[in-house]
Structure 1
């Protein structure tokens, strides 16, 4: 395979800074989300904080307007069974590919669970009946929380058991959230307005065709995957095949087919590995000055690649990521992760460095922390995916 050019780690960091809106910002919530392909939404606060880091002057109301009024952004379970905020135009690609893959996995898991729990001897019929009951209840166009649906529908009242009680996620749990997860992955229902504070995931649910201005059809599987890979390359390229497989939650075969369909171009990365870019993305990028950023847990920049050596010291990985590769809050200086950030009891943001930075960098990070403290205005963020470094700081 002939490699047409070499892209250094320095150039990759510059691409990241410019394309992710971290060095110069983005004009709107919609532009920033499109630039990132999708925003991680597993933790509700990540959407707000990821946009704060990229859109100067953004407010909570601006993000809520895009999510719940204009509906330009829509939350959808997709790649790696992860919840994302998608630009609305990208939903058909996800529904036909990554979300459909998750839905198949969720359906098989749910069938196994309801039978094991003694709720039915015919799990497919049970899933069909439960799904139809939920869709019928939501047909009036009035969004409802999972708890409200569970109270209204006896079919959702059961419980299942996964793992064992002594394990962190083991023991009995309600069946209703699993049914909602399946219907959401299938694109039949969608998360509507949030029923709680913006920093918490408390969604209401409604029929997708009631929520969207127009109900598009899912793309064919191969076409859907190709579009997701195209967007990924525009946001994160160059990246390796391993990066794309991991981010997409798919297989090498799927990724290789998409790269071929897109006529993606192989390039040499620093260290000798092969990366991929779109055919119109071979030109150099303009140099930029140093920049500082504070990114939230599971921010899309941090989570865009599996192979993170060009912006992360491997020695810091056990402190700033969990064992599954999920990132906590991160502090960035000049294209590299140099530590994390936490909040004290008074909700003040504090930067915790793991790498040496020049005085200019320390000043820039402290100034960014002051701005974030002011923006949060006393709101304290509780992170499910707090990194070991964050937990250690909070425990003192």
Structure 2
């Protein structure tokens, strides 16, 4: 595109968010795969987030748990794996090769080198790289035979996984690591194993492991270009800083991927240059009607970028984020965060507005309807976010 970059104002940014993130009522999806494809990645650090994020975006949320479990564990159309920033996400399975080549390879190389060094240093040289290769091959063979297995089940077949080694001796964070915990994480970022079924319900954080579905190797630059294009379609316009944060790439890789994907520069209200995907430059009209949403802790929409002031007022951050920058449950009205919510021990979904402004009767009724919709499909399950925030703690205790 030549000449002056097209300007995308606040209203259009919020319109794009509502439509592309499947939050506007008219844009809700029919299946979990549609949600994951639209968002590129569902944050999976807290297992409940995956289901809650999908349920908030389905036209009919009543079968959320069954549909997500089928996609993850039967159809294998979704996969839970390590991705950007060494974080666990749920991706469309067909994106596994793209994520691995664009992001996982560099992380995996560093993670394996660190494991080999830490093992040698922490065991007095007893646990060597060659020893690790033998244990790893044995563990993967056992996992292939079983299909899925817990770490305890794998250590029953390969006892050397239980070996310990000291870590960071003499430092404030020194401790003892097991080979199994570190090795499975390395194999995860290498794209060789993925998280399988949990041991408990859909909120459980204890998972079995499974051999990763095979995928063809891709050139890293090609993979970064594809991932960039997909993410900008879902979340654009975005700045270089947004993209660097979300991907975890070097700024040079971000810029190369922007160029290779044909991303188009636009301007924002604050005068900052941002980018949209190739072919996505035309103005976007808003949804047919204002919309409300109750999004879970770590939801991919608020966690998609570090610069959030255009949809979340800075004054709301102390109540809605923990000290590490993890967002808690949020209440949305027509493109911006206006409050937070929590579940009480009895199952009731409670919410509070933190920003009233133009949030009138229509908004309050729509938010109340979303709270009831959430309560209905969650049923008897009790949800406690893995990273708790001040407002969530307060609301859940009332």
- TM-score interval, normalised by the smaller of the two chains: over 0.9
Superposed, 1:181-330 pairs within 5 Å as 181-208=185-212, 212=213, 215-288=214-287, 289-330=289-330
Whether the aligned pair in 2 keeps the contact of 1:130 and 1:179 (CA below 8 Å) is: no
Superposition deviation, residue 126 in structure 1 = 3.5
What is residue 370 of structure 2 aligned with on the other side? Answer: 368
Superposed, 1:53-92 pairs within 5 Å as 53-58=56-61, 59=63, 60-92=65-97
How many residues are aligned here?
390
What is residue 176 of structure 2 aligned with on the other side? Answer: 172
* Residue deviations 1:59-96 (CA, integer Å, cap 9, x gap): 21111111111100011101011111111111111111
Larger CA deviation: 363-372 vs 35-44: 363-372
Superposition deviation, residue 182 in structure 1 = 0.8
Whether the aligned pair in 2 keeps the contact of 1:342 and 1:352 (CA below 8 Å) is: no
TM-score by length of 1: 0.93
Q: What SS class does the counterpart of residue 249 from structure 2 fall into? A: coil
Whether the aligned pair in 1 keeps the contact of 2:350 and 2:395 (CA below 8 Å) is: no
What is residue 28 of structure 1 aligned with on the other side? Answer: 31
Task: Please give the alpha-carbon distance, in whole angstroms, between the structure 1 residues aligned to 2:46 and 2:74.
Answer: 21
Out of 145, 152, 167, which is 1:147 matched to? 152
Give the root-mean-square deviation of aligned CA atoms.
2.1
Superposition deviation, residue 256 in structure 1 = 0.1
Task: Please give the alpha-carbon distance, in whole angstroms, between the structure 1 residues aligned to 2:222 and 2:20.
Answer: 24
Out of 143, 157, 161, which is 2:162 matched to? 157
Out of 113, 127, 132, which is 2:137 matched to? 132
Superposition deviation, residue 287 in structure 1 = 2.2
- Cα separation, partners in 2 of 1:333 and 1:30, compared to 1, 3 Å: same
What is residue 18 of structure 1 aligned with on the other side? Answer: 19
Task: Please give the alpha-carbon distance, in whole angstroms, between the structure 2 residues aligned to 1:241 and 1:318.
Answer: 26
Larger CA deviation: 283-292 vs 110-119: 110-119
Superposition deviation, residue 170 in structure 1 = 6.5
Task: Please give the alpha-carbon distance, in whole angstroms, between the structure 2 residues aligned to 1:318 and 1:135.
Answer: 44
Q: What SS class does the counterpart of residue 85 from structure 1 fall into? A: strand
Q: What SS class does the counterpart of residue 26 from structure 1 fall into? A: coil
* Residue deviations 1:138-181 (CA, integer Å, cap 9, x gap): 231431011211233222112345569998x8643433121111
Q: What SS class does the counterpart of residue 339 from structure 2 fall into? A: strand
Q: What SS class does the counterpart of residue 176 from structure 2 fall into? A: strand
